[in-house]
Amino acid sequence: MKQQQQWVKDLMFYLISSIKEYNAVKEKDLDAKGLKAKGLKAKGYIYTIQAAADNYATIYWHEKEEKNINIYPAGRYGSKFKAGYYNNVLMSKKAYDLLCEFLKGKKSENELKKNLHGEHLTPMSYTIGKLNNLIDKNLTDDEIKKEIDYAFSDAKYCIITKEEQHLLDGAKQNYTTDEIETFLSEYKEIHTALPDYVESDFRELEGERKQSFGFGAIRLFIMHNHGVNFVDANGNLKSFKECIEYLEDDNYII
């Protein structure tokens, strides 16, 4: 059985292919009526795209219960942690400590809601932007599928504190040249044969908002470089390399 993530990719391929075909056949008629679709932001597509993409990183297959589950907190961080829903989810050490206090009865769900934050390490708006760029490219079906795979790079979820969230989402949090260069230096130690197009994507982030741009690897690095320690569901400290392995393991099973 395919995981939810492959279903989302299949859906994106169908939508992109259908938009390309629809625009080619109906372009003149649509222009005359002022209804020409604008890629994946066209009415009738955008809500489907956003719903599917937003859930890409949060729908996991629960082996014991044999069903898909949504690990998105919705204000219930503690109960989902207690139920084991975060068994395959990276979290900051501070977030983990707060969740452990909940298990000991020292923190309430409401307190966790005020202090914790679930973060898409690759912003789905960034992924959707890359998908949208495929509409006007002359690509084969196989090339489209490879680009879709790339658009969903590092699409994992993590639990951090709201204080740590501001390292990405706070005012004036834009990528600097020094940050990008420092990241690439460490990233290349993990990926010794980094493709030029990947490196180029990271370099082009200069000046962009961290909140909305960049694959998960550099956004995780930003937090790690500012002293955020990451752990697994058992509290085991993870190195930056291990965090990258988590981003890339394509494992959405608990």
Give, to the nearest 10 degrees, the angle between helix 46-56 and helix 124-132: 130
State what percent of residues in the chain have pLDDT above 70: 89
Contacts of 71 (CB under 8 A, 6+ apart): 58, 59, 60, 80, 85, 86, 89, 157
Kind and range of the H or E run holding 199: helix 196-203
Question: Mean pLDDT, the chain, as a whole number?
Answer: 89
**Widest pairwise Cα distance in the chain:** 65
Mean pLDDT within 104-110: 96
* pTM exceeding 0.95: no
Q: pLDDT tens across 130-141, in order?
A: 988 887 788 899
Residue 2: its pLDDT value, please? 63
Q: What's the gap between Cα 237 and its chain centre?
A: 22
Q: pLDDT tens across 8-67, in order?
A: 999 999 888 877 665 554 455 545 444 444 555 555 666 777 778 888 999 999 999 999
